[in-house]
């Protein structure tokens, strides 16, 4: 059982990103029911915003059609907002990262699939296993630490 972060979901939904070949198989396994994969509602919003504003995917309908498949095919879990906001403030991390980790903990989801350094640090502190499907060489070429 896993929960996926917006970075991995975004890479999976892009068609020609350097990380797509590593992120897409996880999402496809979840959609086929081969892997119990969860997604938070806030992750869906974060993915939409990343694809629309950062990667400039147009038209908007293309993003929404893909997210609709995700919403129908993966387990959408409720976000633990109050605890997530507190953890984000106390740990000085982006809100989405605090929400993701606390949601995993509160729902008993043992693995977080992400390549975010803040999520890695929070997972190590609060218990979930951090799983990064992106090889280190690819992360370096993307400019990730």
The tokens describing 127, both together, are: 């218990």
pLDDT attached to residue 56: 97
Compute how many other C-beta atoms are within 10 angstroms of the C-beta atom of residue 58.
Answer: 10
Confidence at residue 26, expressed as pLDDT on a 0 to 100 scale: 98
- Cβ-based neighbours of 116, under 8 Å, separated by 6 or more: 5, 7, 97
Q: Where are the domains of the chain?
A: 2-133
Low-confidence ranges of the chain (pLDDT < 70): 144-145
Amino acid 88: pLDDT? 97
Specify which residues 130 forms β-bridges with. Answer: 112
pLDDT of residue 143: 83
What does the alpha-carbon distance between residue 119 and residue 98 come to, in Å, rounded to a whole number? 8
Question: What pLDDT score was predicted for residue 80?
Answer: 86
pTM score of the predicted model: 0.95
Class for domain 2-133, per CATH? alpha beta
CA count, 13 A, side-chain hemisphere, 79: 19
Write out pLDDT tens, residues 38-74: 999 999 999 999 999 999 999 999 999 999 999 999 9
């Amino acid at each position: 059982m896993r929960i996926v972060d917006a970075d991995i979901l975004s890479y999976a939904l892009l068609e020609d990103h350097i990380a797509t070949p590593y992120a897409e198989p996880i999402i496809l396994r979840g959609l086929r029911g081969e892997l119990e994969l969860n997604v938070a509602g806030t992750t869906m919003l974060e993915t939409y915003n990343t694809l629309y504003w950062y990667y400039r995917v147009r038209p908007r309908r293309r993003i929404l059609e893909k997210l609709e498949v995700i919403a129908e095919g993966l387990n959408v879990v409720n976000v633990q907002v109050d605890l997530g906001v507190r953890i984000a403030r106390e740990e000085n991390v982006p809100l989405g990262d605090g929400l993701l980790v606390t949601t995993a903990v509160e729902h008993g989801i043992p693995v977080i699939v992400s390549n975010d350094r803040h999520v890695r640090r929070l997972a190590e502190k609060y218990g979930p296993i951090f799983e990064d499907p992106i090889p280190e060489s690819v992360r370096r070429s993307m400019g990730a630490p």
